[in-house]
Amino acid sequence: MPVFAPELIGPSLILSAILFCIGVVGVLLRRNAIIVFLCVELMLNAVNLTFVAMGQLYGMSGQVIVFFVMSVAAAEAAVGLAIVLSVFRHRATVDLKHANLLQG
């Protein structure tokens, strides 16, 4: 039997907003590509927390969406880390200021 706790939805949404804001600040301010990927993952997890919190009110659709978001996040992490490793082998840095390999 599912546990229904509507008094926990507000704090969950506040925590989700705080985590999302931390992720946005990290993406905007950091220059290290690995830190930027970690901040993007933090933002995706904040959205997952929102879906799970709202799933308490509206049913299982929130948990189903979380499953798909987590699978996309795993694929993004794998491809992103492969690109970062490739850039690091070529440039010996993961600083985003020096990542201009796609310029023609």
Task: Please report, in tens digits, the pLDDT of each residue of the chain (104 residues total).
Answer: 456 677 888 899 999 999 999 999 999 998 888 888 899 999 999 999 999 888 888 888 888 888 898 998 899 889 988 888 887 887 777 777 766 665 65
Residue 52 lies inside a defined structural domain of this protein: yes
Residue 33 lies in a domain: yes
23 to 11, 18, 70: CA distances (angstroms): 18, 9, 16
Residue 27 lies in a domain: yes
Any idea what the CATH number is for the domain that residue 65 is in? 1.10.287.3510
Q: Number of structural domains, the chain?
A: 1
Backbone angles phi, psi at 95, to 5 degrees: -75, 130
pTM of the model: 0.80
- The residue segments making up the domain with residue 31 are 8-98
Helix, strand, or coil here: 97?
Answer: helix
